[in-house]
Structure 1
Amino acid sequence: MNDSILPITEQPLVEHPKSATAAPSISRKSVAAAVAGNALEFYDFVIYAYFAIYIGKAFFPVAGEYGSLMAAAATFGVGFLARPLGGVLIGAFADKAGRKPAMILTAALITLGTVGVAITPSYEAIGIAAPTIVVICRLLQGLALGGEIGPATSLLIEAAPPGRRAFYASWQVASQGLAVAVGGLLGVLLSLSLSAEQLASWGWRIPFLVSLVLIPLVVYMRKSLPETHEGEKERSGSAIVGEVLRNHKKILIIGVLLFASIAVASQIGNYMVSYAVQVLKLPAAVAQSSVLIGGIVTFAFSLLGGHLSDRYGRRVTNILPRVALAILIVPLFLWLTGSPSLVTLLTVNAVIAALTALFGAAGIAQVPELLPIAIRSTGLSISYAFGAAIFGGSTQFIVTWLIAATGSAMAPAWYLVGISVISLIAMRLLPESRNANVQQ
């Protein structure tokens, strides 16, 4: 594919030659297997954010009102740092050996990371070994999630019926919303069932242990997945990565910026639990309910975004919700900080989740559609993982630091505005991909 990407007004419609090989059919069970794994891995990754306050107190006894939370947020970011490595290694493995073995590998890695976080004793019990183990577990989780998006999304796009690719790919984002909702529901139930002392002492570990029951089921389901790309076993992983970097670097860079706004908006939504408790001084149960609503809204609007993207095109579904979010987020935060309550918190989180889901569904289809099948998993994994690592991984730490340094509760809103503007500039350079032939 030509690496030259012109502004959209000068860019011809991207259409690959017709492939002699028809796309394999994919059953609803296979779609469920693909997205269930993504949901579970994302659940394991994000529940750390929901319970960051308690994890910080358990493993990072740092002085100051925001000290432990900042340390926990920094460790949350460590998981993002491992995403690019997972994207490169597992993404290339999926292009070399096939989508299915890569997806089974990511499920195994996330299991190791989750077990570690769930059973590691506190700092008070084993000292410096506690935060060290947690950091290693976060690295494993990040490695797995960095390598998950590329092969799973590639499989869905390659096996989707004509005219339905964005809708099928949108299940990836929708499954993340499902993970957010389940995590939020557990958070609400735990907050209502346990005292603050019990939640801080051991209650936060329960959601990690719950996921361990489901992982064997996901691995079993993934063994029955169809294979949409047999791979090029004679090529090394380094050769595949080299081709991506040489011939498709402009798409990768634009993809990183596109996924940056998705990552930042998503992480600010996840951060609202800590924000509500630490900054707005709302009860823990109220804070956790915002995540539950955000997850439900993400699930619904992701599927809507996929449908709209298939009907009207990727670009319009990518751009308009980003513009709306950049315009609305500051007034929404002014309302929230001026009148913190259950209603204002749920409303703000729902708006963030809805708009992010709309452009997230379009973006998760547009980038891989612009890449050839032989390097699609690697290219998507790199773009997504670097966007998430550089921007998403630093979001919670940056906004916590900004709030502490400036004393302004508006920091998350202004940070999101800045990232949205950058991503809109990038979108100006990304061509429409609705009619691309993804079997080439």
Structure 2
Amino acid sequence: MSFQSITAASQSHDLDRDTKRIVFAAALGTVFEWYDFFIYGSLAVLFSTLFFPKGNETAALLAALATFGAGFVLRPFGAVVFGRLGDLVGRKKTFLVTMLVMGFATVAVGFLPTFESIGWAAPILLVCLRLLQGLAVGGEFGGAVTYVAEHADVERRGFTTSWIQITATFGLFLSLIVIVLCRASMSAEDFANWGWRIPFIGSIVLLLLSLYIRLKLQESPIFQEMKAQGKGSKNPIADTFADGRNLRHVLVAIFGAVAGQAVIWYTGHFYSLYFMTTTLRMSQDQASFYLLTALALGTPFFLFFGWLSDKVGRKWIVVTGCALSALLIIPLFQGLASYGNPALAQFRSKTSVVLTGNGCRQDQSFVGQLFRPKAATHCQTVKALLTAHAVPYTINTDAEPLRIQINDDAPKTFDDAALLAALTEKGMPPANTPAQPNGPMVVAVLFALIFLATMVYGPLGALLVELFPVRIRYSGVSVALQLGNGWIGGFAPFVATAVVIATGDIFGGLWYTVAFAGLTAVIGAFLLPETRGRDLSN
């Protein structure tokens, strides 16, 4: 499908002036909140050096990714709190509150002291602010998509709400653009010292603009009609979870649609960025440029699949996207590795390392890795070194002290310098050698990952809104979205990285995405109803 075809589809679904104003206002505010939420994710590798103790870079990266995931922990609770408010007092008032909470938390991150200044208080404060951000996002997105859907023409609901689906990608796109501009305008040292604060503090401009525009909105007419007729729920959360039919809708929405969408989106948009910078050793600027290009090419397909869902239905587009992702995610990342750093891929194809030592198995504890300021054992140090250089390894536990076998050589005891020298002799690119990626093919692979995300995510907003009755719609949509995205999708980068560290397989963590995408495809195929055309006033 060409961009011209997408444009033609968009023109055939031209929105009237009032709907455009409503979509723009809701979308702008949601872009702002996603920008705020993702600016940390875009800088997670840098934050691992600023907010966590030095001495074990692998553990610091895991901790930084876990802190990114912490922003997802409270998202379901935000969905409960703000979903209840949205169903009781209105859609508009509620997402104004979520915007203010998000704005405060993001600006505050820009003023945080680092670990070097205040020790462990720095990551604790950072986690607290990430939790606040998660609370706000938990109530924002469901409100925005509900508000837009309740204004949209029934024949254009998928296309209209797909503009809200775009906002997460726009937020990531904007965060990457701001970071690239900041990096380009100062030295790397200045950016690491203070320049990283600019994207956080500067978000206050977007906050004020979004608030100004949203204050001009009117409440949803469907919500007003429901309140006028006295049909509103007195306790939306109880009605969502205590009513068997509504609870079934929530569970089907999560495991038949949202879980797959979440892992596919975060793997393609975020884990791909970490993979390029930490595993393939691309520069941050290289990886950001390739991802930005792929985002620019792929984003119109959100609208296309939203439009297509108005024609053929929502369900099978989502299910097909999940099934294709389950089949293609690992091959696509294998292609990304081959094209992203050909020299490293060639070295990996002909190199195997076996670690033998009684201390290696217990070093695989993810929790232990998170909070150890120093590498505790020789085996842990070696695993961190091998992971940092994307060297595949396996582990035995038969001997002490640690012995390392490279290919068919005899097992030996190495210190770090000797191990690096031995691997370099086998063909490993030196650490200071920049990656020489095949740029067009890297963009093509990233585009394929983004395309899969658009296929699942484009129709999702309309599907979820149509799935729930009006009296609990804000709560039902928000809870389903945030349980799936918050507790399943948001931790995908962390889980994938942790599995890589534990196993030595740079593609091992992707099985988390494959499993949830496949499970969602199966459950969705059998249990997810087709919702296109449903009356939203009921």
Q: TM-score, normalised by structure 2?
A: 0.74
Q: Which ranges in structure 2 are unaligned for 5 or more consecutive residues?
A: 1-15, 341-436
Alignment correspondent of 1:368: 465
Relative to 1, partners in 2 of residues 1:346 and 1:411: Cα closer, same or farther, differing over 3 Å? farther
- Aligned residue for 2:113, secondary structure, equals coil
Alignment correspondent of 1:4: none
Query: Are 2:264 and 2:325, in contact at CA under 8 Å, matched by a contact in 1?
Result: no
Output aligned runs, 1:9-408, within 5 Å. 26-228=18-220, 229-230=223-224, 232=227, 239-247=235-243, 248-257=246-255, 258-268=257-267, 269-340=269-340, 341=437, 342-408=439-505
Q: What is the alpha-carbon distance in structure 2 between the residues aligned to residue 181 and residue 351 of structure 1?
A: 17
Q: CA deviation at 1:25?
A: 9.1
Q: What is the alpha-carbon distance in structure 2 between the residues aligned to residue 392 and residue 324 of structure 1?
A: 17
Q: CA deviation at 1:232?
A: 5.0
How many residue pairs get aligned? The number is 417
Q: CA deviation at 1:329?
A: 1.8
- Aligned residue for 2:299, secondary structure, equals helix
Q: CA deviation at 1:236?
A: 10
Which AA in structure 2 matches 1:259?
A: V
Q: CA deviation at 1:138?
A: 0.5
The structure having more radius of gyration, on CA atoms, is 2
Query: What do the CA deviations read for 1:151-205 (whole angstroms, capped 9, x no partner)?
Result: 1111111110120111111111112221121122223333444433333222222
Alignment correspondent of 1:16: none
Q: CA deviation at 1:294?
A: 4.1
Between 393-402 and 413-422, the greater mean CA deviation after superposition = 413-422
Query: Are 1:114 and 1:141, in contact at CA under 8 Å, matched by a contact in 2?
Result: yes
Q: What is the alpha-carbon distance in structure 2 between the residues aligned to residue 372 and residue 81 of structure 1?
A: 26
Q: What is the alpha-carbon distance in structure 2 between the residues aligned to residue 384 and residue 297 of structure 1?
A: 26
Query: What do the CA deviations read for 1:375-402 (whole angstroms, capped 9, x no partner)?
Result: 0000000000101121122112101101
Between 353-362 and 269-278, the greater mean CA deviation after superposition = 269-278
Between 88-97 and 223-232, the greater mean CA deviation after superposition = 223-232
Alignment correspondent of 1:421: 518
Q: What is the alpha-carbon distance in structure 2 between the residues aligned to residue 60 and residue 235 of structure 1?
A: 51
- Aligned residue for 2:459, secondary structure, equals helix
Query: Are 2:294 and 2:444, in contact at CA under 8 Å, matched by a contact in 1?
Result: no
Relative to 1, partners in 2 of residues 1:186 and 1:385: Cα closer, same or farther, differing over 3 Å? same
1:438 is the counterpart of 2:430: no
Q: CA deviation at 1:413?
A: 3.4
- Aligned residue for 1:119, secondary structure, equals coil
Query: What do the CA deviations read for 1:348-378 (whole angstroms, capped 9, x no partner)?
Result: 2211111111211212211220111110000
Query: What do the CA deviations read for 1:184-231 (whole angstroms, capped 9, x no partner)?
Result: 222333344443333322222222122111101111111111211136
Q: What is the alpha-carbon distance in structure 2 between the residues aligned to residue 195 and residue 412 of structure 1?
A: 34
Q: What is the alpha-carbon distance in structure 2 between the residues aligned to residue 364 and residue 297 of structure 1?
A: 21
Relative to 1, partners in 2 of residues 1:309 and 1:416: Cα closer, same or farther, differing over 3 Å? same
Relative to 1, partners in 2 of residues 1:261 and 1:232: Cα closer, same or farther, differing over 3 Å? same
Query: Are 1:93 and 1:102, in contact at CA under 8 Å, matched by a contact in 2?
Result: yes
- Aligned residue for 1:224, secondary structure, equals coil
Query: Are 2:75 and 2:135, in contact at CA under 8 Å, matched by a contact in 1?
Result: yes
Q: What is the alpha-carbon distance in structure 1 between the residues aligned to residue 146 and residue 510 of structure 2?
A: 33
Q: What is the alpha-carbon distance in structure 2 between the residues aligned to residue 412 and residue 310 of structure 1?
A: 35
Between 297-306 and 374-383, the greater mean CA deviation after superposition = 297-306
Q: CA deviation at 1:404?
A: 1.1
Alignment correspondent of 2:391: none
Q: TM-score, normalised by structure 1?
A: 0.90
Q: CA deviation at 1:68?
A: 1.3
Query: What do the CA deviations read for 1:210-259 (whole angstroms, capped 9, x no partner)?
Result: 21111011111111112111365999988210111122111101212221
Q: Which ranges in structure 1 are unaligned for 5 or more consecutive residues?
A: 1-23
Which AA in structure 2 matches 1:391?
A: I
- Aligned residue for 1:339, secondary structure, equals helix
